[in-house]
């Protein structure tokens, strides 16, 4: 019997290993490059100071500045509560804010490192780098479930690259407070990543991680709630999950959202003890143009825009968002009235934007029903922009570049998909799975990335501090009353510093110009009148200062700061006319007005004593110097001046008594007075 030959088993085809693959096929290399690239883009912000709303959540927030000890209050109250430092006052901000997670991060940084802007900026830079990596991992995972691995790699890497470089992100990354946007998107994208892995690998651990990440996203900023729609959309488009499976993966998001909304409602509830009348007064308070841009001036009062004007203005801003994604020039942190003008649908820009968004909405739905990835691109953009669009509820401003942070993913993804399409159609020489055939489209991606990177690096220094930011962006947002007011206020603050002593008058006059412009745009801007009064006060234009403060009080009779500053101005005017001009009648006129407003102000009372002494009205001088000693009994100068007044009145005994008392309080008083 012949021996049967054994059949040799065919050897399995060798599989390409990660180590043997070229660099452009290695996800680990992609991740490292993206992290370093995104971080390096913003490394020139690390030495920047605080800017813009950093005061609200960091250095002027009584809870954050406590370090770890203040974290429980950060989670207990409205985010603005620690800034206003007064129970119930945070309710004055329309809609309320409950975003405790990033302030808690800042509190921990203060606990460990102290109040350091370098640590805050470095934290943003590193977290942004991590965000770009997570975006890459998510897109690669999603596309690998639907297309070839090479296409998934190309689209994920190109998208993350464009996202990392886009200049419109400078407001978020270069401003420490912008960490709320970073953490919201980071938490939301990570949640979706873990959900897809939970569905694919059937591991509950990933479901738990998804819920945790989504909760962090919500606690960072409410915008994360749009992922209640994006998560099922992503499963529908990229996976073959059944409707039941999609519902199961979405359920944890609904549960987490319910917990978050409960916490938010508790934190934003009116404080205990606030009466229904007080609550109603807050709800029905008059709206200011700076908190409600959808108003116009009719005669001497503001009235709401018509429905048509409001909608047309909103769609004009939505069109501007698209322009900023494709052509990110003339960037500014301020889009307050009237940088964005009131529009009607007679405006071509408003009408074109409306038609474009309608087409995007219809196209997104139709393509999504066909499970086309372009449906995901369109609906992701519309969903993440919807919550800040003003279409469904007011957000207090027309628009802001930070509101494009989430939607800009759609732009980056669209560019990457279009580049792959061009490569597939015009440049692929053989198989579409050979990435080397897509070098030309990737060169296009690289060129766009370089252009965006240069724009980002050049924009970053503008965020150095408020002075740099305001004085730069006012050239773009010259019709913004808020920014004109901010520039005026910052010029006043800077002019008081010793290093600007030589430029003080010029800076104050420049501040006056900006504040007058703010008032021209918004005649009801009480804070602009207040700052204008301050500028004129420092310029010793006291009559103009008084007029500005009185205008502020006309707008708000309970404006305490204007009332206080008006009293101080009358006092300073009295001193000026008495000491510099020798006009004692005008000095007394102003000092009496100051006394009427500030009857227990030591300096006002003292100056009245001096003025009456100069006029040789000794009884009145004695009366006011006596009052000065009652206001501040431990002030040696008050007792010495009283003794001097008695001396000129012919009472040597009283002079001796009160001069001795002054020296008893402060033995070095005479030496100090001579030096001054």
DSSP notation for 515-560: HHHHHHH-TT-HHHHHHHHHHHHHTT-HHHHHHHHHHHHHH-TT-H
User: Which of the 8 DSSP states describes residue 95?
Assistant: T
Q: Which residues contact 259 (CB under 8 A, 6 or more apart)?
A: 215
CA-to-CA dists, residue 80 to 86, 118, 286, angstroms: 10, 24, 20
Length of the chain, in residues:
676
Integer Cα distance of 609 and 132 in angstroms: 69
Under 8 Å between Cβ of 395 and 294: no
pLDDT along the chain (676 residues), means of 10: 44 46 79 97 97 92 93 89 65 69 96 95 98 98 92 94 98 97 98 97 95 98 96 97 95 97 88 62 67 90 94 97 97 95 94 97 97 97 96 92 98 96 76 64 93 98 97 97 97 95 96 98 96 97 97 95 96 94 94 96 96 94 96 95 94 94 92 82
Integer Cα distance of 333 and 50 in angstroms: 15
Range(s) of the chain covered by CATH 1.25.40.10: 467-675
Place of tokens 């053989």: 430
Structure tokens at 654: 């009283």
Integer Cα distance of 427 and 222 in angstroms: 43
Q: What's the Rg (C-alpha) of the chain?
A: 33
Integer Cα distance of 418 and 435 in angstroms: 15
Q: Which residues contact 597 (CB under 8 A, 6 or more apart)?
A: 563, 566, 567, 570
Classify domain 467-675 by CATH architecture. Answer: Alpha Horseshoe (1.25)
Integer Cα distance of 249 and 391 in angstroms: 29
Integer Cα distance of 18 and 27 in angstroms: 9
Rounded to the nearest angstrom, the gap between the alpha carbon of residue 116 and the centroid of all alpha carbons in its chain is 19
Tell me the whole-structure pTM to 2 decimals.
0.90
Q: Which residues of 219-244 are buried (b: 16+ CB within 10 A; e: fewer)?
A: bbbbbbbbbebbbbbbbbbbbebeee
Of all helices (H) and strands (E), which one includes residue 665? helix 652-665
Under 8 Å between Cβ of 131 and 186: yes
């Amino acid at each position: 019997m012949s021996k049967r030959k054994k059949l040799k088993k065919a050897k399995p085809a060798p599989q390409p290993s990660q180590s043997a693959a070229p660099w452009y096929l290695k996800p680990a290399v992609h991740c490292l490059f993206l992290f370093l690239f995104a971080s390096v883009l913003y490394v020139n912000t690390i030495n920047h100071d605080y800017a813009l709303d950093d005061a609200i959540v960091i250095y002027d927030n009584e809870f954050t500045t406590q370090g770890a000890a203040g974290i429980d209050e950060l989670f207990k109250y409205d985010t603005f509560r620690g800034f206003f430092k007064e129970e119930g006052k945070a309710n004055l901000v329309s809609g309320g804010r409950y975003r405790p997670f990033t302030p808690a991060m800042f509190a921990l940084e203060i606990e460990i490192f102290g109040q350091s802007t370098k640590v805050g900026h470095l934290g943003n830079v590193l977290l942004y780098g991590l965000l770009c990596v997570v975006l890459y991992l998510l897109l690669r995972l999603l596309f690998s479930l639907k297309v070839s691995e090479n296409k998934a790699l190309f689209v994920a890497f190109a998208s993350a690259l464009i996202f990392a470089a886009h200049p419109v992100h400078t407001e978020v990354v270069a401003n420490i407070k912008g960490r709320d946007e970073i953490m919201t998107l980071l938490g939301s994208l990570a949640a979706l990543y873990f959900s897809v892995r939970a569905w694919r690998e059937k591991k509950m651990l990933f479901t738990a991680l998804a819920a945790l990440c989504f909760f962090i996203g919500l606690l960072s900023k409410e915008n994360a709630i749009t992922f209640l729609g994006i998560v099922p959309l992503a499963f529908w488009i990229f996976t073959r999950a059944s409707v039941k499976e999609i519902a199961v993966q979405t359920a944890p998001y609904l549960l987490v959202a319910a917990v978050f909304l409960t916490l938010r409602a508790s934190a934003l509830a009116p404080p205990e003890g606030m009466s229904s009348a007080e609550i109603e007064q807050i709800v029905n308070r008059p709206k200011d143009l700076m908190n409600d841009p959808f108003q116009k001036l009719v005669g001497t009062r503001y009235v709401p825009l018509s429905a048509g004007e409001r909608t047309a203005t909103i769609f004009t801003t939505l069109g501007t968002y698209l322009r900023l994604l494709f052509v990110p020039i003339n960037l500014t942190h301020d889009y307050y009235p009237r940088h964005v003008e009131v529009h009607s649908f007679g405006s071509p820009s408003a009408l074109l934007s409306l038609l474009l968004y309608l087409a995007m909405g219809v196209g997104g739905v139709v393509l999504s029903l066909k499970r086309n990835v372009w449906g995901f691109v369109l609906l992701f953009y519309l969903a993440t922009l919807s919550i800040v669009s003003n279409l469904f509820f007011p957000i207090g401003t027309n628009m802001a570049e930070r509101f494009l942070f989430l939607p800009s993913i759609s732009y980056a993804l669209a560019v990457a998909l279009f580049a792959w399409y061009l490569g597939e159609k015009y440049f692929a020489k053989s198989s579409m799975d050979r990435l080397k055939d897509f070098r030309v489209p990737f060169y296009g991606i690289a060129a766009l990335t370089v252009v965006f990177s240069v724009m980002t690096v050049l924009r970053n220094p503008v965020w150095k501090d408020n002075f740099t930011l305001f004085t730069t962006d006012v050239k773009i947002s010259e019709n913004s009353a808020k920014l004109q007011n901010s520039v005026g206020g910052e010029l006043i603050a800077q002019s008081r510093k010793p290093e600007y002593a030589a430029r003080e008058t010029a800076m104050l006059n420049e501040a006056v110009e900006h504040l007058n412009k703010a008032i021209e745009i918004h005649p009801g801007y009480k804070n602009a009148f207040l700052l204008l009064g301050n500028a004129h006060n420092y310029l010793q234009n006291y009559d103009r200062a008084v007029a500005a403060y009185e205008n502020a009080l006309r707008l708000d009779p309970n404006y305490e700061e204007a009332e206080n500053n008006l009293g101080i101005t009358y006092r300073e005017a009295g001193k000026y006319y008495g000491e510099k001009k020798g006009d004692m009648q005008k000095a007394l006129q102003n000092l009496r007005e100051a006394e009427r407003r500030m009857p227990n102000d030591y300096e006002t009372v003292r100056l009245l004593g001096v003025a009456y002494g100069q006029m040789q009205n000794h009884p009145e001088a004695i009366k006011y110097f006596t009052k000065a000693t009652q206001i501040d009994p431990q002030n040696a100068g008050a007792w010495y001046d009283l003794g001097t007044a008695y001396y000129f009145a012919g009472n040597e005994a009283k002079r001796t008594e009160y001069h001795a008392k002054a020296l008893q309080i402060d033995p070095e008083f005479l030496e100090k007075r001579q030096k001054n």
